[in-house]
Structure 1
Amino acid sequence: MTAQAFESPAPAASTGGPLLGPLSWNLVYVDDLAAMRAFYEGVLGLPVKNASPYFAAYHTGGCTLELMARKDNGPAAGSPARGWDRNRVLMSFKVENMTAVVAELTRRGATLLHGPSPTVSADGLPPEGQVAQFIDPEGNIFELCDEPLFF
């Protein structure tokens, strides 16, 4: 696959504004909703926005994170794949004190995969922050980032 330059999306014909609005939620299909809820609520400390026997939604700032029990109604139905091989999702959470948050999540039992390490930067420019990547009980990767948000 070659890199392509992308232009801003065309405005919506009816309003003159962007075609798409802000990202509403990120959904992650899970096998064991109870275990995943215990991790996201107990270890990560995310506040529950809404829940049912087949999903849980969490407040994460401007975008909701949803965990959805695998059912017979989606791309994950019947798939033996787990984590990255199933979802190809990387969730990144903004943090203010990388060292303290990494230490606390590790103390709570989260598995650190990588970091903290410098963020990727343009050639010749110094990194603007750090990232640390963890893995949840089903193999989904989530990241902490302390670099200033530029978007």
Structure 2
Amino acid sequence: MAGTMAPPAIESLGHTILLCRDLPGMRAFYQDILGLPLAEDRETWVSFRLGATMLTLRPRGAWSVCDDGPWPPGSAAIQLAFQVPLAGVDAWHRLLEARGVPILRAPTDLPQWRHRTLFFRDPEDNIIEIYAEY
């Protein structure tokens, strides 16, 4: 269209919302297992603040904008990557194993990315990565 200005560039991702089947179970995992700082706790909206980013959990289903549709069992909807200091990857591995969280891949160095990574799943099969840069 002639005369229209392009919108400004997207600068950051400020908020991620995970759609949940079991909100209390997911809340417990992210707060009690991962220790994320709780920012807001409502019946249908639980948020954690991570620096400039907000991670929110909400029930899957119909709402004012659309219907989220069914969740395909056994599939991940998202991969979240949480950055920690280098020594933190192995410390998280020990903590998660002690808390009975199944590990997808133990701490592994990825020289091509200059990352040390650890992979596991949350209670709804989303892939969670804890990584450090080196």
TM-score, length of structure 2 as denominator length:
0.82
C-alpha deviation, 1:107, in angstroms: 1.3
In structure 1, distance between residues paired with 2:95 and 2:75: 24
- Candidates 30, 39, 52, aligned match of 1:40: 30
Give the aligned residue type for 1:91.
L
Give the aligned residue type for 1:30.
C
CA contact (8 A) 1:33 1:67 kept: yes
Q: Which residue of 2 aligns with 1:141?
A: 127
Q: Could you list the per-position Cα deviations for residues 41-83 of structure 1 after superposition, in whole angstroms to 9, with x for gaps in the alignment?
A: 1111111111211121101222111111112134633x14146
CA contact (8 A) 1:83 1:140 kept: no
| Residue 76 in structure 1 maps to residue 76 in structure 2 | no
- Name stretches of at least 5 consecutive residues in structure 2 with no aligned partner: none
Structure 1 residues 139 and 95 mapped into 2: Cα distance closer, same or farther (>3 Å)? same
CA contact (8 A) 2:110 2:117 kept: yes
Identity of aligned residues (%): 27
- Greater per-residue strand proportion: 2
Give the aligned residue type for 1:41.
Q
Q: State the superposition RMSD in angstroms.
A: 2.1
TM-score, length of structure 1 as denominator length:
0.73
CA contact (8 A) 2:61 2:67 kept: no
More displaced stretch, 100-109 vs 68-77: 68-77
Give the aligned residue type for 1:27.
I
* SS of residue matched to 1:146: strand
| Residue 115 in structure 1 maps to residue 106 in structure 2 | yes
| Residue 28 in structure 1 maps to residue 18 in structure 2 | yes
In structure 1, distance between residues paired with 2:120 and 2:17: 18
- Name stretches of at least 5 consecutive residues in structure 1 with no aligned partner: 1-12, 122-126
* SS of residue matched to 1:109: coil
- Hey, which bits of structure 1, 4+ residues long, moved more than 6 A? none
